[in-house]
Amino acid sequence: MALLFLILACALWGLSFPLIKALNLEQASRIPEASSVFLSSWLQCARFLCGSIFLLPFVLRRKAISWSECSQGLQLAFWGGLAMWLQADALAYTEASTSAFLTQAYCVILPLWACMRSRQMPAARVMLATAFVVIGCVILSGLKWGSMRMGRGEFETLLAAVLFTFQILTLENPKFAGNRGLPVTLVMFAGIALLFIPITWMVAPSFQACIEAGASYHSITLVVALALPCSVGAYLLMNVWQPKLSSTEAGLIYTTEPVFTAVYVLFLPACLGAFIAADYPNESFTLSLAAGGGLILLANLLMQWKRSPHLPPAGPIDRN
């Protein structure tokens, strides 16, 4: 069940990439003076404030939020909020293919962290699955090693991958084992919104820009779509079900996200482009999509494969 629900979370997360791209196109056409830092900060604030408002009545009907749930939610808000902010800003300074590959660095960092913590070498299965994920992401993204450079976008994306690693490890922390997913998610969302209110204010070109960013039917619709299925749905599934798996296993499952995104961009951009009246063409199915996605799926099947129990040889039947 944990495996299936985390894959569903990845399917919901995958929707966020074309939705954010469409929102950026729509807002940039209306507010040309807005910087990438302002637009990514505004999105974090609006997206998670909307998610908090949606979750609040469901949490109020239950018993009070514990200090442990509050602590975990705030830690998730710090790591996850900063990671998504850096990732969104980085896309303005680097190619999407490079960013997609570098973001998957956490699937390598997690096994290395687990090895350092336990002072043991990773199992052969983990090493093989990690190699499949890295190769698959390289193929999926179309990365050319000769074009790699460590500029602002690449540095921010790598830093975001490190922060995502700590977000995953926070969910695995055994001291939070008894926490409920719903209140933890509410605290996380509220924490991200509160974190980015002052940041958005400081980087805004003007107070009017903060209003204009959401002053269209198209932007409101896209923010709600990002807030509900892509945030409330995905993070509830993650916060409830990820603690039932190891961080290494969860990290590899999360690498199915670009596979879902690669499928969505075959048809969704044109629909979104028509909605916002902008040029946002679909992408094409390629051999790299099939090969890269297949390797990522193979890595997850490898991690989920369980040996059948070894039964002792049957002894002589006692007929007495």
Cα 116 to Cα 129: distance, rounded to the nearest angstrom: 19
Please report the pLDDT score of residue 25 as a whole number. Answer: 87
pLDDT band at 148 (very low <50, low <70, confident <90, very high): low
The count of other CB atoms within 10 Å of the CB of residue 55 is 22
Could you give the angle at which helices 152-172 and 67-90 cross, rounded to 10 degrees? 160
Predicted local distance difference test score (pLDDT) of residue 308: 46
User: Alpha-carbon distance 272 to 275, whole Å?
Assistant: 5
| CA gap 37, 52 in Å, rounded | 22
* The dihedral formed by the CA atoms of 153, 157, 163 and 164, expressed in degrees to the nearest 10: 150
pLDDT at 299: 76
Computed over every residue of the chain, the mean pLDDT equals: 82
**Is pLDDT at 319 greater than 60 in this prediction?**
no
Q: How much is the pTM?
A: 0.80
Angstrom distance (rounded) from CA 173 to CA 170: 5
**Contact predicate 48/189, CB 8 Å:** yes
Residue 200: half-sphere exposure toward Cβ, Cα within 13 Å: 22
* Token pair belonging to 157: 């994306």
Structure tokens that stand for 197 in this block = 């209110």
CB 14 within 8 A of CB 257: yes
Q: Which residue, chain included where needed, has tokens 């798996």?
A: 245
Q: Is the pLDDT of residue 212 over 60?
A: yes
Q: In this structure, what token pair is assigned to residue 212?
A: 């204009």
pLDDT above 70 covers a percentage of the chain that reads 84
The CA distance from 30 to 214, in Å, is 10
Q: Hey, what are 96's tokens?
A: 């999407």
Residue range 192-221: mean pLDDT, rounded: 94
- Judged by average pLDDT, the poorest of 148-157, 164-173, 307-316 is 307-316
The whole-number pLDDT of residue 256 equals: 80
CB 187 within 8 A of CB 73: yes
What does the pLDDT read at residue 41?
94
Q: What is the pLDDT of residue 317?
A: 41
Taken as a whole, the chain contains a residue count of 320
Is the Cβ–Cβ distance between 87 and 158 less than 8 Å?
no
How is the chain classified by DSSP, letter by letter?
Answer: -HHHHHHHHHHHHHHHHHHHHHHHHHHHHH-TT--HHHHHHHHHHHHHHHHHHHHHHHHHTSSPPPHHHHHHHHHHHHHHHHHHHHHHHHTTTS-HHHHHHHHTTHHHHHHHHHHHHHTSPPPHHHHHHHHHHHHHHHHHHT--GGG---SHHHHHHHHHHHHHHHHHHHHH-GGGTT--HHHHHHHHHHHHHHHHHHHHHHH-S-HHHHHHTT-SHHHHHHHHHHHIIIIIIHHHHHHHHGGGS-HHHHHHHHTTHHHHHHHHTTTHHHHHHHHHTS--PPP---HHHHHHHHHHHHHHHHHH--PPP-PPPP------
